[in-house]
Amino acid sequence: MSELGILLEIAISALLICGAFFTLVGSIGLIKLDNCMSRLHAPTKASTLGVGSLLLASMIYAFMTGEGSVHEVLVMAFLFVTAPISGNFIAKVNLHRGRGTDALQPVPSDQVWGTYSEK
């Protein structure tokens, strides 16, 4: 194998390990953290880099084997656009569950949050 091939394989392995690590941390966070809103942080972030690294590894591998593929760029773009939206929906469900109680947080008195809106 050529010098470049070995270097690329090392890069791919490093990216795969990095991706696996961050995905694992995301899952650990999901179990470890103690309230719903905090739990939301681990998967929305740790997984972006996790999946990102895995996709980058897949892309380098595809170019190395001569069948270049750029689908991964699209996967990444869609992931970055949709992750905040699902995160926002889970947060809204949390707000609804805390409605009427002050278990979640005090809403500033001069503003009504969209989730609590009566209109």
Partner 1 sequence: MLSRLLPHPFLTALLAIVWSLLVNEIKLGTIVFGVFLGLLIPIATAAYWPNRPPVGRPVKLFSYMMIVVWDILVANVVVAMIVLFKSNKDMRPKWVVIPLELRTPEAITMLAGTITLTPGTVSADLSEDGKALLVHALDAENADDVCADIKHRYERRLKEIFE
The Cα 109–Cα 119 span in angstroms is 17
Which token pair is 73? 């760029």
88: Cα within 13 Å, side-chain hemisphere: 7
40 closest CA partner among 103, 83, 98, 3: 83
Other C-beta atoms within 10 Å of 43: how many?
A: 20
Give me the residues that bind partner 1 (CB under 8 A), please. 21-22, 25, 28-29, 32-35, 37-38, 40-42, 44-46, 48-49, 69-71, 73-74, 80-81, 83-85, 87-88, 91-92, 94-95, 105-108, 111-115, 117, 119
Rank residues 5 and 84 by Cβ distance to partner 1 and give the closer one: 84
Question: C-beta of 111: minimal distance to partner 1 in Å?
Answer: 4
The Cα 81–Cα 117 span in angstroms is 26
Rank residues 9 and 107 by Cβ distance to partner 1 and give the closer one: 107
Question: C-beta of 33: minimal distance to partner 1 in Å?
Answer: 7
User: Using an 8 Å Cβ cutoff, are 44 and 83 in contact?
Assistant: yes
Question: C-beta of 1: minimal distance to partner 1 in Å?
Answer: 27
Rank residues 6 and 86 by Cβ distance to partner 1 and give the closer one: 86
Question: C-beta of 57: minimal distance to partner 1 in Å?
Answer: 16
